[in-house]
Amino acid sequence: RKEVEQDPGPFNVPEGATVAFNCTYSNSASQSFFWYRQDCRKEPKLLMSVYSSGNEDGRFTAQLNRASQYISLLIRDSKLSDSATYLCVVTFSRGFQKLVFGTGTRLLVSP
């Protein structure tokens, strides 16, 4: 079983739609959680951290459910520029943090 699992998609949505991605992780000792964004043929970049209390950054809302070991990302009012691959990332500590990436969920926003 992969440490971090995501639906690869693609999710095809029209502009203005709301779309949600989920991610599950297998290691209950995981400590920190993130969403990264990767544009086609580019490097991954941090989108936002994910907290148990939930956090929001503009049109993006991230949520963590530790009991069920899943993380979600909600994008409201999708823009064409949101088209990208969204990578779920979890970390656990062995004295140092190790980032483990999911395979990513591809989002395509169309006019």
**Applying CB under 8 A, which residues contact other proteins?**
32, 34, 41-46, 85, 87, 91, 93, 95-101, 103-104
Range list of β-strands (E), the chain: 4-6, 11-14, 19-25, 32-38, 44-50, 55-57, 60-65, 70-75, 84-93, 97-101, 105-110
CB-CB contact of 88 with 4 (8 Å) = yes
Is 45 or 79 the residue whose CB approaches other proteins more closely? 45
Q: What's phi and psi for 42, nearest 5 deg?
A: -125, 175
What is the smallest separation between the CB atom of 89 and other proteins, expressed in angstroms?
8
What is the smallest separation between the CB atom of 84 and other proteins, expressed in angstroms?
12
What is the smallest separation between the CB atom of 16 and other proteins, expressed in angstroms?
27
Is 70 or 101 the residue whose CB approaches other proteins more closely? 101
